[in-house]
Structure 1
Amino acid sequence: MKTIGLIGGMSAESTTVYYQLINRLVRERLGGLHSAQIALWSLDFAPIAALQAKDDWEATGRILADAARRLEGAGAEAILICANTMHLNYAEVAGAVAAPVIHIADATAEALKAKGVGKALLLATRFTMEKPFYAERLAAQGIETLTPDKADREALHAIIYDELVVGVITDASKAAVLAMIDKGRAAGCDGIVFGCTEIGLLLDPADMPLPTVDTAVAHCEGAVAFALS
């Protein structure tokens, strides 16, 4: 079994999902008392969130590249950035280590194609929805994306940063995101992407009106496939 390196803490809530899910998937596939070999470098999210707000992605890139080097030094044979938004720094992280860095959008595209999705509603942070890095990565694999309108993007961003990353789940926010999904469906989307690793804490893909990919789950499945290959 290969060792998986996780750059976590962004947020701690979703990093917990990564740790639990990767271990569960390994146990399901190998049976018995098996669990995953994981090295975790969990970052303090507050300074990173402050840099995000200032659009200082050079600084966040240095932080994540340093974390990747530390993980590789600890024996990680593949690296995961446990946050969609921080794949803005994918190039810096991949350039800092020899180990492969498993891109969350690649894992997501494969899961979408398996479900027959061609045009997906992308629900994520404002950075992921508005900057091109994520949609372009999906487009390269034949997946078109649509995002909510500006007001809904701002509302969703606030739900993620003010509530989900600190473990707050409310019925009002769930209803708000479901309304965004209804709009996306009316606009012609045939699938949904939970493009923030915390959205799966608020909504269950199984309850959605369209085929849905939780990016955290797809990312973990990709990591386990690598680890057991």
Structure 2
Amino acid sequence: MIPSKKEWTDALIARHGATLHKQFSSATVAICGLGGLGSNIAVALARAGIGKLLLIDFDRVDITNLHRQQYKANQIGSYKANALAENLLEIAPYTELQAVTTKITEENFARLLKDADIVCEAFDDAECKAMIVNGVLEQLPQCYLVAASGMAGIDTPNTIKTRKVTKRFYLCGDEVSDVANSIGLVAPRVMLCAAHQAHTVLRILAGKYEV
């Protein structure tokens, strides 16, 4: 049985208090890219009680995604944004979700992200990463940006970290490892980086900023 909205809200308030719940539940967070990073970021933020998530990815679920991304075998072939929205509604039924299956470009990113308080960059492609980072910092002055760099391979998890680059820009990862120079992406290490990004979002909303 799905709990009522009041029961759900009361449980979240009991967990982290009324003040934090208000800050989390009134926030809109955009997640750009819904692969290993983005899908795990979304799950963590939905569980924390973020009010609205913008889920943005034009790609579809593939069998090769299932070892590290938050999808199910029966969702292969579905748009990631739609599939993830389905899964999140099972986890956090009162989270407002907007699934966007459009590819983000230099021409449309400002329109797609204009309502976001925080943008999470979770792309694989370096050019797409640079486009979002530069675009948000230059054209969306109201947004914080939480990006990722370096989580490939089976190296120690202890090198995954969060660094404050500027007042509005945070970078998570080891900032070194590259898919091309390793065995690829391994679920636990990718999830660690995603957890750093999600937790950084919560800290920003709570007014807890890195030094």
TM-score band, normalised by shorter chain: 0.3 to 0.5
Report which of the two has the higher share of helix. Answer: 1
- Whose relative contact order is higher, 1 or 2, with alpha carbons under 8 Å and at least 6 apart? 1
TM-score by length of 1: 0.30
